[in-house]
Structure 1
Amino acid sequence: MGSVSGGCIEDDPVAPPGQHGVDTASDKAPARRFTCDEQDTHRHRRIVGWKGRRVDGEGRRRAVQRAVTPAPHVKSKEYRMSEKPYVICHMVSPLDGRLLVDPWAPDGSALKKAMHDEYQRLHVEFGADAWLGGTTTMQDFATGTAFDAGPPASPPGRPWYVADQQAKKFAIAMDRHGRLHWDKNTADDGHVVVILGHSVPDSHLAELVAAGVSYLVMPDDDIDVVAMLVALGERLNIRTLLLEGGAKINGAFLKAGAVDEISLLLCPAIDGTTGNPAIFETGATGVGPQLKLELIAAQPVAAGTVHLRYRVGPAWPQPRMSS
């Protein structure tokens, strides 16, 4: 699966198979749910396509880098954080914070049905412009097979290709190696936008174009999640995004400072299984000392579950010790 460091996703950040944000150990398709203008002209950066130009590999990479990174005269961190969408990590877990659902809420149980229904209700209430999942999560929706779209008349556009200019709701698929194959261009009523690493071949981009799927090719294979979010916000007018991934992708976003809020449906159950992942994993160092969580709300909801909402911010400054 690879490691996560420095706010970059260094391998496919995946959730275990199952409903995004509500992960199961089975390969069943998730229950259907009711899901949830171009760039502002006053902004100095524009994310543009290739307009059919033929460039060598290094020239292409430099151009992509310019398209998805801040202008040099702007302070990178402050600028990018202010421009990205508002990100809510929306998850469900038992009392011990585990990611997998099947060990504590098996198929057919009253708890599983109540938990799924409540999770979906909350998802809709947020009214987000987009939701995002990793490669394994999106396998439930990417049910096509690889095919040769034939040699393109010109190189496929990079970094952007937008298949549906009228789309207002989006399903963002993190798939840096191009392992997913699509036979439709929607997932849970959101238009699919695939995030890819720079080394993805043109043949896969041509396959996505033929399937009517949008994509963004990032300048590196180690995807900078904040730069990606800024690009999505500017090009697709995404203002609020629900992060519904697995342990690695949730951890990468959290470590990068890209999560603004955590929405957790806490269920009356305990997993207790050794080795099962948590809903956040950020590596050996963790993120505890770096974060401050501020309680927004704690509301009892269906079947003994509690909906917790926390605002995420930087940690309080450590007090100085007097000499």
Structure 2
Amino acid sequence: MEKRSGLNDFVQAAPGYISKVLKENNYARMADKILKFNLKMKRFLSSDYRRINFCKDIDTVSELCYITFADIASEYKNDGGKEGMKKPYIVCHMMTSLDGRIDCAMVGQLTGVEEYYATLGELNLPSTLSGRVTAQLEMALPGTFQAKNGVFIGQERFSKKVDATGYEIVVDTKGTFLWEKETDTAKPHLIITSEQVSKEYLDYLDELHISWIACGKDKIDLKRAAEILAEEFGVERLGIVGGPAINSAFLEAGLLDEVSILIGLGIDGRKGMPGVFDGFPMEKIPTPLKLKDVKTYGNGAVWLRYLV
């Protein structure tokens, strides 16, 4: 292969980019990052190499950067990296139509819906987390909390009201949902907000004896929230049972360990109906998965489990 300055510059610059990726992502997902990096590089070189005159052998460049990536990954692992981050084992569990839609009213009509809670039980997920839309439709009281002075907490804090084997966790970035007073329950609520939540709202939750976590300057820091759930609330296994926004947020944050899909017998097909994951930019590369298990039911429903 003819060596060119452009190629040399590219290979020399690669370690810095890769190191940045490693520092921002869990080492356990390194295989995914290696795959995505090489695909991006191949696409870049195949479309531009004539103009910038890198080289003739794109695969050789890919191999060089793959080796660089693997070397840095090895060093990163030896240094500890983020693989030691304490977090729950997190599963996204959803029921869908054959075409991957998750509208609640629709899936409630499908044969196989009766298997949803049975499969959720088999996953052993004492704590479950719902997003804003799901919580507003199915869990919170009508109305919106109105703060009078609007003073934000502005720092990471948490308040644990009760020890429990599992929690009903809700994300509410700025603290707007209304709740009933928490009484003795096997699965108490736990509200996660950003640091842009008002002190008044947290006082309101305190009065209702509801636990809360505030983390993330402008939006909820899901990685930090996962650490607090594990370290302070003892959450070991967590199910994400919300809609496409919260599912996608956990996927993008690199926090999902498993995706569990129960497919009911039916096709939605309606325009604009939500899917399991949604909202990523068009240039996003598909997230690779590894099949863990397949189970079929007498009524025709199919349960698929994938490792992320």
TM range (shorter): 0.5 to 0.7
- Counterpart pick for 2:291 among 295, 299, 302: 295
- 1:167 alignment partner, one of 145, 164, 167: 164
Q: Deviations over 1:109-130 (max 9, x none)?
A: xx35x41x21111112222231
Match of 2:210 in 1: 213
TM (norm. structure 2) is 0.66
Query: In the alignment, which residue of structure 1 is the partner of 2:100?
Result: 97
| 1:179-225 deviation digits (Å, cap 9, x = unpaired) | 11111337994211101111211111111001110001113132221
- The 5 Å alignment of 1:64-75 reads none
Higher share of residues assigned helix: 2
Further displaced range: 184-193 or 249-258: 184-193
- Name the TM-score, length of structure 1 as normaliser: 0.63
Distance in 1, Cα, partners of 2:141 & 2:264: 31
- Determine helix, strand or coil for the equivalent of 1:254: helix
C-alpha displacement of 1:82: 3.5
Question: Measured at CA, do residues 170 and 297 of structure 1 come closer, stay the same or move farther in structure 2, by a change above 3 Å?
Answer: same
Name which of structure 1's ranges 75-84 and 181-190 shifts more when overlaid on structure 2. 75-84
Counterpart contact for 2:95–2:107, Cα < 8 Å: no
Q: 1:49-70: CA deviations, max 9, x gaps? A: xxxxxxxxxxxxxxxxxxxxxx
Distance 1:83 1:98, change over 3 A: same
Q: 1:134 aligned to 2:137?
A: no
Alignment of 1:53-92 (within 5 A): 78-79=81-82, 82-92=85-95
Equivalent residue number for residue 229 of structure 2: 232
Q: SS of 1:245's equivalent?
A: coil
Identical residues among aligned pairs (%):
29
Q: Does 1:281 align with 2:281?
A: no
After superposition, the C-alpha distances for 1:66-108 in whole angstroms (9 at most, x for unaligned) are xxxxxxxx999942674211100000101111121434654xx
Supply the distance in 1 between the matched residues of 2:221 and 2:155 (Cα, whole angstroms). 20
- Runs of 4+ residues over 4 Å off in structure 1: 74-77, 144-151, 155-158, 186-189
Match of 2:300 among 291, 298, 304: 304
Write the letter of the residue equivalent to 2:281: A
Of 171, 192, 196 in structure 1, the residue corresponding to residue 193 of structure 2 is 196
> How many residue pairs are counted as aligned between the two chains?
230
Q: C-alpha distance in 1, partners of 2:217/2:271?
A: 35
- Partners of 2:239 and 2:157 lie apart in 1 by 23
How far, CA to CA, are the matches of 1:158 and 1:222 in structure 2? 12
RMSD: 3.2
Q: Distance in 2 between matches of 1:75 and 1:282?
A: 36
5+ residue gaps, structure 1, are 1-5, 8-73, 313-323
Higher relative contact order (CA 8 A, sep 6+): 1
Shift in CA distance, 311/212, structure 1 to aligned 2, threshold 3 Å: same
Closer, same or farther: CA 76–163 of 1 in aligned 2, 3 Å: farther
The equivalent of 1:55 in structure 2 is none
Larger Rg: 2
Q: How far apart, in 2, do the equivalents of 1:183 and 1:128 lie?
A: 24
- Contact 2:107 2:264 (8 Å CA) reproduced: no
Structure 2: gaps of 5 or more residues: 1-23, 26-76
Task: Pick the structure with more strand per residue.
Answer: 1
